[in-house]
Amino acid sequence: MALFRRFFYRKPPDRLLEISERVYVFDCCFSTDVLEEDEYKMYMGSIVAQLQDYYPDASFMVFNFREGERRSQISDILSEYDMTVMDYPRQHEGCPLLPLEMIHHFLRSSESWLSLAGATKRAVDAL
């Protein structure tokens, strides 16, 4: 089965790193470069276009670990493409750790999303 899977392996869309089957991370999460607002919109738009080409009938959910209490830029951009964005704070009460309830909620949400309707769902993690 592993040989069969390797033979038919489909490279993930550009600028996404595949963590496991149906779970990806934006490559900008591993970069210290800060993109200007217009550059970031173009970056996200190109990724969304590729995802929609690769998986035309799929639904997408993005888990975003954001800083601060404001709505994040990624949420604003991806909502224009009808993608579900789950925002989680990167810090809890000034500490860079999430409380256990928040981690549990994230894991339950991920599991239920990925188990829905088989292979038509995709999760993208936006650290």
Q: Is residue 3 part of a domain?
A: no
How much is the pLDDT for 119?
43
The domain total for the chain is 1
Whole domain around residue 44: which residue ranges? 13-125
Q: Is residue 47 part of a domain?
A: yes
Q: What is the pTM of this model?
A: 0.64
Would you give the distance in Å from CA 65 to the centre of its chain?
Answer: 10
Q: Is residue 38 part of a domain?
A: yes
More confident residue, 95 or 68: 68
pLDDT tens by residue, 97-123: 667 787 788 788 878 877 775 544 455
* Total number of residues shown for the chain: 127
pLDDT tens by residue, 23-50: 888 887 777 778 888 998 998 999 999 8
Would you give the distance in Å from CA 8 to the centre of its chain?
Answer: 24
What lies within 8 Å, CB to CB, of 6 at 6+ separation is: none
Q: Is residue 5 part of a domain?
A: no
Would you give the distance in Å from CA 11 to the centre of its chain?
Answer: 17
More confident residue, 103 or 95: 103
Q: Is the CA virtual torsion 80, 75, 32, 68 positive or negative?
A: positive
- The total of other beta-carbon atoms located within 10 Å of residue 87's CB is 17
Q: Is residue 27 part of a domain?
A: yes
What is the three-class DSSP state of 91?
coil
Match 């601060």 to its residue by tokens: 68
